Homo-oligomer: A and B are copies of this chain.
């Protein structure tokens, strides 16, 4: 919790997570601040690292990747782990990967143009350090990415539940 947020910061972050494709003027109006102050705030949020990047969310299916597969992966020994981590970085079809603690060791997101493409990527992973591999074919978004349930940093510890 490195960054302190007041109510306006929370509003700004919530708005920007939903749609960052707005002019500073619109944003200022939305949060009830002057354009100049809004600009300052947003810059501060970027510099502080609260906002990592602004990026375009591309519809994978619309641009030729109708298949998205999530994979839970375990690796055996240190050698396999190393191979696996390298392979994940190299394969462009792997669009995200996380290290996790639990029943499995990694969570990997793969996109594919077709079943053949998919099979190729899964095989590569299975034969490059992947031990147990469980795959899940993404069917649909039940809840699309939602803004974080932010709260202002109160001096007296905040606590609220949804």
Whether A103 contacts B162 in the complex (CB less than 8 A), given A20-B55, A59-B49, comes out as no
Q: List, in ascending order, chain B residues with CB within 8 A of A100's CB.
A: 70, 136-139
- Once bound together, how far apart are the Cα atoms of A141 and B94, in whole Å? 13
- Within the complex, the shortest CB–CB distance from A151 to chain B, in Å, comes to 7
Q: Are B20 and A49 in contact (CB under 8 A)?
A: no
Q: List 7 A-B contacts (CB under 8 A).
A: A19-B53, A20-B55, A51-B58, A52-B57, A92-B162, A95-B146, A97-B141
Q: List, in ascending order, chain B residues with CB within 8 A of A1's CB.
A: 61-64, 66
Q: Are B54 and A85 in contact (CB under 8 A)?
A: no
Assembly of this chain: how many copies?
2
Q: List, in ascending order, chain B residues with CB within 8 A of A56's CB.
A: 13, 16-17, 20, 51-54
Q: List, in ascending order, chain B residues with CB within 8 A of A49's CB.
A: 59, 62
Residues of A within 8 A of B (CB): 1-3, 5, 13, 16-21, 46, 48-66, 70, 72, 85, 88-104, 106-107, 111, 117, 120, 134-151, 153, 161-162
- Within the complex, the shortest CB–CB distance from A127 to chain B, in Å, comes to 14
- Once bound together, how far apart are the Cα atoms of A117 and B90, in whole Å? 37
Q: Are B20 and A20 in contact (CB under 8 A)?
A: yes
Q: Are B135 and A102 in contact (CB under 8 A)?
A: yes
Q: Are A60 and B146 in contact (CB under 8 A)?
A: no
